[in-house]
A and B are shown apart, each in its own frame.
Chain A
């Protein structure tokens, strides 16, 4: 992959930080945006801006068409059977909440069970904990193995007739471990064919080819801003057959068929979940981000990140004081590495790296249950994307050397 050409498409990567070249390795938090996405959003405001599906005037027609085309484009990219299965939310957090409260409120009964994994991001943990509490249902947390993997054979044994939902992350935001979603779903269904599956794809969709129909889940959540799109765009897949099991949680304009004084009928489409004026420019920008990714090819991005992981692990061998969390096999993980350096607090390390122009994340990465389990206050996470190259990893390791000199 030609990273030097790709870097040129991202103007922010030219900037300096503290007089040093910016090395952006915080992509798991949010990715940078290519010029084409920024321009698409700005063009929309400069030439087409109007509310959608409400006006008969030219601008409204144009904006509506662009918004609907964006949904088609995104549905096609992720292999949904129809665009009506794609719902735009504000992000993965809202997507999980929509299913927790829109589906959970309607379908969970006392003593029902929800299965979740210990390593989940809070946004894919707390909504389930909360709805379980409200419905008197039980949240069952599957523990992680000492080698950072899950023993799914053990998890399958916990599935009973009371189990209603299995919650999985396609990839963890701390460990990066990629789950074989299709296989796990198939096996779970042998224990209970009526299960529903919610998959958090926030850390997988930006890095792997995702085909929703082939995965076989009922719900899949994607974070637009982690894959070159603007903030405020979540993509939630709800399988068409399941949509009658999920009530909207936002009521208002744009989602109704008819309103009478005593009754309201809702649209029978994805729009019933999108009450109010949606993030029109964001969705249109997101579609442009998808075009950019399609052009590069998800397969190429995946290969590139595996190469970067190999390079990172190779360099890490010379750093005996570095503890890496998660599988050491690049093929089993996405392009992120969480680690600690002995005797250096993750915040102090991240602060020295920041002084050197290297942007990483430090802390518990919104995964407190996992960090508590690992008995560490936090970790430092370097996460790669299509524009990163070996020189960025070199800069990271040089900055780590500097941190040792200052802090130890």
Chain B
């Protein structure tokens, strides 16, 4: 399916979970060297569960939509569940055909999430 279909553009124009979380349990910065996209991911974690997730991104539509969908998906999940969430799962949720060069735009939020949780658990 074309990425510029209505449903996709709707999320892009009004993305869920955009913004900062004050006193977040985890803040992780992600960059995509290939295109210069940048994002910050904020997670509030209590008793091993993600209770809130937000993001701020300077990115193309694919990056924004992917960040919105991912943050929505992980809310309420345990860290173990979040860690089991794969690239394939994310691309399926986004549900549009992405060309090879755009897949990296979509996976940046997930890579940032994985890196953030690793850091969080190390502490």
A binds B: yes
Indicate whether A371 reaches chain B with its CB closer than 8 angstroms. Answer: yes
CB-CB under 8 A from B12, the residues of chain A are 407
CB-CB under 8 A from A246, the residues of chain B are none
Given A345-B61, A347-B60, A407-B9; A363-B4 close (CB under 8 Å) = no
A364 to B3 CA separation, bound complex (whole angstroms): 22
A346 to B35 CA separation, bound complex (whole angstroms): 10
Q: Are B3 and A351 interface neighbours, CB within 8 A?
A: yes
A347 to B99 CA separation, bound complex (whole angstroms): 12
A352 to B4 CA separation, bound complex (whole angstroms): 8
A residues 338-393 in Cβ contact with B at 8 Å: 345-348, 351-352, 355, 362-364, 368, 371, 377-378
Q: Are A351 and B102 interface neighbours, CB within 8 A?
A: yes
B residues 17-76 in Cβ contact with A at 8 Å: 34-38, 58-62
Indicate whether A406 reaches chain B with its CB closer than 8 angstroms. Answer: yes
Indicate whether B105 reaches chain A with its CB closer than 8 angstroms. Answer: yes
B interface footprint on A174-190 (CB within 8 Å = 1, 0 otherwise): 00000000000000000
A351 to B2 CA separation, bound complex (whole angstroms): 11
A362 to B36 CA separation, bound complex (whole angstroms): 11
Q: Are A348 and B2 interface neighbours, CB within 8 A?
A: no
A347 to B36 CA separation, bound complex (whole angstroms): 11
Q: Shortest CB–CB separation between residue A27 and chain B, in angstroms?
A: 19
> Residue A377 contacts which of B9, B36, B62 (CB distance < 8 angstroms)?
B36
Q: Are A345 and B36 interface neighbours, CB within 8 A?
A: no
Q: Are A347 and B2 interface neighbours, CB within 8 A?
A: no
CB-CB under 8 A from A363, the residues of chain B are 34-36
Given A347-B105, A406-B9; A355-B35 close (CB under 8 Å) = no
A352 to B9 CA separation, bound complex (whole angstroms): 13
Q: Are A347 and B35 interface neighbours, CB within 8 A?
A: yes
Q: Are A377 and B37 interface neighbours, CB within 8 A?
A: yes
Q: Shortest CB–CB separation between residue A364 and chain B, in angstroms?
A: 5
| Nearest-neighbor residue (CB-CB) of A364 within chain B | B36
CB-CB under 8 A from A378, the residues of chain B are 35-36
Q: Which residues on B are within 8 Å of A, measured CB to CB?
A: 2-4, 9, 12, 34-38, 58-62, 102, 105
Q: Which residues on A are within 8 Å of B, measured CB to CB?
A: 345-348, 351-352, 355, 362-364, 368, 371, 377-378, 406-407
